[in-house]
Chain A
């Protein structure tokens, strides 16, 4: 071993011209790392088969805006993470799964470019979503969160990929598994958790709860399965009416995919060429019913019939991003609506009341976790392409953990909304009105 070590070390010294003598494996590695830092990071000669010669970063509105959108004072965007003195690959191109197409001549590309900054940002956001949902799980089990709580862990690549492809001025509406979208659309973890715990610091002042969080260009959070789909088409109609070149991403699940009103929305969206991206998040189960037991056709991307469709790997953030970019371009070009089926998976049950193992096996869940976890996949990609170091990821994890803990502390210590809030916000821009209370002698006040 020692001979081998000395041999390698000597060879390296000869190549590099350094005069060093490694005594241990770690010294050898340190030697190597010092060597790497001395050379230019973009030397093509050092590129492996997966790396491409550096190109200027793509003109994308997504990455910088992702950073600016996070208004949470507790968060520090990934860009601020202390970067070690090592040099990394600034950008790489990745193979992504080819999308199956329906009524489309061509689809999204089968390669995706990602810069180091983007990668770290995606990781940061997805890990934040993951840890936020796990914290919600914890708080629910402590009975600090009540009622409904539908968790999104496992599906982070969908929310991140979509947000990475649209502008903050575009619109998004989803169903009740909405915490992650609330985050990607700009609401802080603190305000999301405080809404879950029903406090006045929540994004809906504690009056909405898990399924009713709103933000600029984010229309919830909707509790009635499928109802959000016509709403989304209506938002798209408003975009078309106002001629602002914006699109509306309208999400629903495999369970909702059989709702009649969705087909009504498809019809009108196609008829009037509304700029609506319909997205079916197929996580294989609608509550406790597997897709095979619920749908006569599980090709959800084809269910739009005359609406063109794409089937996307929803566990790969880059695949989702490229598909969404493609879809947004389609809509903005005035070609009408388009349907994306994101094949994804949720680790939790349907909600916190559902253990999630009566209709599927623990083995299945474990297999997805180990083979297709979206966060792990992204991390591995970045590591194997030298786009980041394990230490960096660890640092991000630590920072996120701290951020979530602080947010949870706020969410558990913030007071509930005062009773005076009970009757407010019934009507907008209206005079204060009297509201009948529980008995004829209780007249409450409502202000806008």
Chain B
């Protein structure tokens, strides 16, 4: 189901899943789902350091609500893989306390929506403590789980927390897209001596990617704070994270047929943001479109635009930077409404065209009556500029 949504990213519906051991004579690259990549990351880190343990709801005997921790309890037992009651504030606090006392917990939130119940522990007990203690008390903890919209789970289960956590000093916030991202970033997060938030995405769990030989190593890590250019381009920079990276690549494929070459940046890390990567790209392409699933106000895209304005890349912009975001509403349930609540490929394409000013009078968003008048108005405005 998830595969059908991601035209580009679901290269092959067949994947060699579930294998954790690779023979030396295996092919150079292997296919792996994001889910298995996360599983492998945790398995390797649990093996590497006995202070690492996983705690959360259903992580042990149920093999994980989304099966991300499958097989780990069987391998490592009760002490290292801990099932908790449904008490987020309590077990997040317990995890933070354990980190303060020298362990290295991975605290799973079944989705980041539930982290709101525990957010005081994440921010006030974890993020700020090293600073408040003037460097005396580190908190080496990872909070991970699926973030953002899924499919049909409606308003209370679809919020994106990238902007909320990305706002706070003392946290590192990661947002993997591919399997390589997932494995490498989670491993980096576990090895980091600071509180790290890993925003996974439920729709990506089942998506298969190729894993390079390097990525198959037990010591493979992806550096925190470094974005990756997934596709080179020269006309416009698309800066995105998580699930939307796939949609950007799909949009780029369509636009390439018209001769518009998009450079697609996979941010990988929300905090600290790799502004340099975006700036370098913008100085090359002269156009910037940010794409995210979260709400527009005070979001990731807003931050990127502000930073670009404040930096050297501003002078290279030939048009104002544009943000493509989720619609500013609580997530509806009905399929059509839900589909129109987050950016679709055509929305990205539209925004690129607008930014590049290649939009003609006859080109406007089809099938969307709501705001149609407003759209028409904007199109008219473009005409007067030409």
A230 touches B94 (CB 8 A): yes
Q: How far is the CB of B111 from chain A (nearest CB, A)?
A: 19
Closest Cβ–Cβ distance, residue A302 to chain B (whole Å)? 20
- How far apart sit A272 and B55, CA to CA, in the bound complex (Å)? 13
- Kindly list chain B residues whose C-beta atoms are within 8 Å of the C-beta of A429: 138, 193
B169 contacts chain A at the CB level, 8 A cutoff = yes
Q: Write out the residue numbers on chain A whose beta carbons fall within 8 Å of the beta carbon of B170.
A: 426-427
Instruction: Give complex CA distance A427, B133 in Å.
Output: 12
Give CA–CA (A224, B94) in the complex, Å.
Answer: 15
In the complex, residue of chain B having the shortest beta-carbon distance to the beta carbon of A211: B132
- Residues of A within 8 Å of B296, CB to CB, are none
A265 to B96, CA, bound (A): 13
Partner of A238, one of B103, B138, B172: B103
* B386 in contact (CB, < 8 A): no
Q: Is the CB of B93 within 8 A of A265?
A: yes
Contact with B along A412-448 (1 / 0, CB 8 A): 0000000001001111111001010000100000001
Q: Are B133 and A233 in contact (CB under 8 A)?
A: no
- Counting CB contacts under 8 A, is A160 at the interface? no
| Interface contact A428-B94, CB-CB below 8 Å | no
Would you give the 0/1 interface string for A217-231, flagging 1 where the beta carbon is closer than 8 Å to chain B?
001101110010111
Cβ of A386 < 8 Å from any Cβ of B?
no
Task: Give residues of chain B (91-112) contacting chain A, Cβ–Cβ below 8 Å.
Answer: 91-103
Output the least CB separation between B298 and chain A (Å). Answer: 16
Let me know if A235 and B136 touch, CB within 8 A. Answer: no
| Cross-chain contact B135 with A448 (CB below 8 angstroms) | yes
Report how many residues on chain A are interfacial, defined by Cβ distance under 8 Å.
Answer: 50
Q: Do B132 and A268 have beta carbons less than 8 Å apart?
A: no
Q: Which residues of A contact B136 (CB under 8 A)?
A: 204, 214-215
For A204, the chain B residues whose CB sits under 8 A away are 132-134, 136
- Assuming the contacts A214-B136, A230-B90, A426-B169, asked whether A241 and B53 have C-beta atoms less than 8 A apart, the reply is yes
A237 contacts B97, CB within 8 Å? yes
Q: Are B120 and A227 in contact (CB under 8 A)?
A: yes
User: B58-116: which residues lie under 8 A (CB-CB) from chain A?
Assistant: 79, 82, 84-85, 87, 89-103
B124 at interface by CB-CB < 8 Å = yes
Query: Of B91, B100, B140, B172, which one neighbours A264 at CB under 8 angstroms?
Result: B91
B147 at the interface (CB under 8 A from A): no
By beta carbon, the residue of chain B nearest A239 is B101
B272 interface residue per 8 A CB criterion? yes
Q: A235 touches which one: B90, B100, B130 (CB < 8 A)? A: B100
Q: Within 8 Å of chain B (Cβ to Cβ): is A11?
A: no
Q: Is A81 an interface residue (CB 8 A)?
A: no
How many chain B residues sit at the interface, stated as a range, is 35 or more
Contacts of B125 in A (CB 8 A): 222, 224, 227, 231
Given contacts A230-B121, A267-B87, contact A212 B93 (CB under 8 A): no
User: Cβ of B134: which chain A residues have Cβ within 8 Å of it?
Assistant: 204-208, 421, 424-425
- Please determine whether A219 and B100 come into contact, CB atoms closer than 8 angstroms: yes
By beta carbon, the residue of chain A nearest B97 is A234
Q: Does B21 contact A (CB under 8 A)?
A: no
Query: Is B333 interfacial (CB-CB < 8 Å)?
Result: no
B96 and A264 form a contact (CB under 8 A): no
A220 to chain B, nearest CB (A): 8
B122-164: CB near A (< 8 Å → 1, else 0) gives: 0011000111111111101000000000000000000000000
Q: Point out the residues of chain A lying under 8 angstroms from B121, CB to CB.
A: 227, 230-231
- Complex Cα distance A233/B90, Å? 9
Q: Is B194 an interface residue when CB atoms closer than 8 A count as contact?
A: yes
Does B258 lie at the interface of the complex (its beta carbon under 8 Å from any beta carbon of A)? Answer: no
Q: Is A258 an interface residue (CB 8 A)?
A: no
Q: How far is the CA of A224 from the CA of B129 in the complex (A)?
A: 12
Q: Within 8 Å of chain B (Cβ to Cβ): is A356?
A: no
Check A242 for interface membership: any CB of B closer than 8 A: yes
Q: Please provide the chain A residues from 234 to 250 with a CB less than 8 Å away from any CB of chain B in the complex.
A: 234-239, 241-242, 248
- Binary CB contact string for chain A from 251 to 268 against chain B (1 if under 8 A, 0 otherwise): 000000000110011011
Alpha-carbon gap, A214 to B92, bound state (A): 21
- B369 CB–A CB distance under 8 Å: no
Residues of B within 8 Å of A308, CB to CB, are: none
B91 to chain A, nearest CB (A): 7
Tell me if A171 is interfacial: C-beta within 8 Å of chain B. Answer: yes
Chain A residue with Cβ nearest B93: A230
Contacts of B84 in A (CB 8 A): 268
**Beta-carbon contact of A234 and B100 below 8 Å:** yes
Interface pair B194/A428, CB less than 8 Å apart: yes
CA distance A214 to B137 in the complex (A): 8
Q: Could you tell me the distance between the alpha carbons of A223 and B91 in the complex, rounded to whole angstroms?
A: 19
Chain B residues, Cβ within 8 Å of A104: none
Instruction: Identify which of A171, A230, A234, A271 gathers the most chain B CB atoms within 10 Å of its CB.
Output: A234
Residues of B near A108 (CB, < 8 A) are none
Partner of B94, one of A223, A237, A440: A237
Set A229, A237, A265: member contacting B98, Cβ < 8 A: A237
- Shortest Cβ gap from A380 to chain B (Å): 40
Alpha-carbon separation in the docked complex, A241 to B80 (Å): 9
Give complex CA distance A227, B119 in Å: 11
B92: which A residues are within 8 A, CB to CB? 230
Q: How far is the CA of A235 from the CA of B124 in the complex (A)?
A: 17
Enumerate chain B residues within 8 angstroms of A248, measured Cβ to Cβ.
101
The chain A residue with its CB closest to the CB of B126 is A231
> By the criterion CB–CB under 8 Å, are B96 and A234 in contact?
yes
Q: What residues of B have a CB within 8 angstroms of the CB of A212 in the complex?
A: 132-133
Contact A214 B90 (CB under 8 A): no
Q: Which residues of B contact A239 (CB under 8 A)?
A: 101
A232: Cβ under 8 A from any B Cβ: yes
Report A197 CB to chain B, min CB distance, Å.
Answer: 15
Closest 8 CB pairs of A and B: A234-B97, A230-B93, A264-B90, A238-B101, A428-B138, A231-B97, A440-B310, A205-B134
| Listed A/B pairs (5) with beta-carbon separation below 8 Å | A220-B129, A220-B137, A227-B124, A230-B92, A424-B135
* 16 further interface pairs, Cβ-Cβ under 8 Å (given A242-B102, A267-B85): A205-B135, A208-B132, A208-B134, A212-B133, A215-B136, A224-B124, A224-B125, A231-B93, A231-B125, A234-B93, A234-B96, A237-B94, A261-B89, A264-B93, A426-B131, A428-B138
